[in-house]
């Protein structure tokens, strides 16, 4: 249905880091454009909103933001390759979601519920706090 993702046809090697970066942004845009259909397929209207899903997608992409050091090694293609691989996996996941191969509780558990808040400030306020308090601030379990 919506496997009209360009990536399946494009060769898996990006020429340079800039191209890989470009690809990442295009992937992000494609994902955000498919958010309305995702919300309709899984009836997520009363549990989340498009802006929240966008921030979820961006946080997932940012999780791998550390793979961008433009170190030149012997085989100069290594770094963009990793990004290509991650993009491929991301595209695969997006295709699965858009094609309704997943179910509502997968989406809820993986992308909607239990996201760590932005309002957690990393700080210096924890001296003197017991282990209980530290784990309390982190999560319920």
Partner 1 sequence: MGLGQLASRALFRSTRLASSKPQLLLRRAIVSTPDLHNSGAAAAEAQPEPDLPKRNPVAGARVHFPNPDDVIEVFVDGYPVKIPKGMTVLQACEIAGVDIPRFCYHSRLSIAGNCRMCLVEVEKSPKPVASCAMPALPGKGWSFMKMVGFGMKIKTDTPLAKKAREGVMEFLLMNHPLDCPICDQGGECDLQDQSMAFGSDRGRFTEVKRSVVDKNLGPLVKTVMTRCIQCTRCVRFATEVAGVQDLGMLGRGSGEEIGTYVEKLMTSELSGNVIDICPVGALTSKPFAFKARNWELKGTESIDVTDAVGSNIRIDSRGPEVMRIVPRLNEDINEEWISDKTRFFYDGLKRQRLNDPMIRGADGRFKTVSWRDALAVVAEVIHQVKPEEIVGVAGKLSDAESMMALKDFLNTMGSNNIWCEGNGPNPNADLRSGYIMNTSINGLEKADVFLLVEAAMVNARIRKTVRATSAKVGYVGPPADFNYDHEHLGTGPETLTELSEGRHPFYSALSNAKNPAIIVGAGIFGRNDKDAIFSVVEKIAKNINAVRPDWNGLNVLLLNAAQAAALDLGLVPQSEKSIENAKFLYLMGADDENLDKLPNDAFVVYQGHHGDRGVYRANVILPASAFSEKEGTYANTEGCAQTTVPAVPTVGDARDDWKIIRALSEVAGVRLPYDSLSAIRSRISTVAPNLLNADEREAAAFSTSSLRPEVKEKMDNSAPFGTAVENFYMTDSITRASKIMAQCSASLSKK
Q: What share of the chain is helix, strand, coil (3-state, %, to 5)?
A: 55, 0, 45
In angstroms, the CA 71 to CA 79 distance is: 8
Our finding on whether 120 is near partner 1 (CB under 8 A) is yes
Our finding on whether 105 is near partner 1 (CB under 8 A) is yes
Please, which residue, 4 or 130, has the CB nearer to partner 1?
A: 130
- DSSP code per residue over 31-67: HHHTHHHHHHHTT-TTT--HHHHHHHHHHHHHHTTTT
Our finding on whether 113 is near partner 1 (CB under 8 A) is yes
Whose tokens are 């060769």? That residue is 11
Please, which residue, 12 or 109, has the CB nearer to partner 1?
A: 109
Our finding on whether 51 is near partner 1 (CB under 8 A) is no
Our finding on whether 106 is near partner 1 (CB under 8 A) is yes
Please, which residue, 73 or 131, has the CB nearer to partner 1?
A: 131
Our finding on whether 140 is near partner 1 (CB under 8 A) is yes
Shortest Å distance, C-beta 102 to partner 1: 11
In angstroms, the CA 19 to CA 21 distance is: 5
**Closest to 60 in 3D by CA, of 133, 99, 103, 115:** 115
Our finding on whether 73 is near partner 1 (CB under 8 A) is no
Give residues in contact with partner 1 (CB under 8 A). Answer: 46-47, 104-106, 108-109, 113-114, 117, 119-121, 123, 125, 129-133, 136-137, 140
């Amino acid at each position: 249905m919506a496997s009209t993702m360009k990536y399946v046809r494009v060769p898996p090697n990006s020429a340079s880091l800039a191209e890989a970066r470009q690809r990442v942004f295009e992937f992000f845009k494609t994902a955000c454009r498919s958010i309305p259909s995702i919300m309709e397929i899984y009836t997520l209207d009363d549990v989340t909103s498009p802006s929240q899903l966008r921030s979820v997608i961006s946080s997932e992409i940012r999780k791998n933001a550390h793979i961008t050091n433009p170190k030149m090694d012997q085989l100069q293609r290594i770094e963009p390759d990793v990004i290509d691989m991650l993009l491929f996996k991301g595209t695969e996941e997006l295709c699965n979601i858009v094609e309704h191969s997943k179910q509502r509780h997968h989406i809820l558990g993986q992308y909607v519920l239990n996201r760590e808040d932005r309002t957690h400030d990393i700080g210096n306020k924890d001296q003197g706090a017991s282990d209980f308090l530290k784990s309390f601030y982190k999560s319920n379990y």
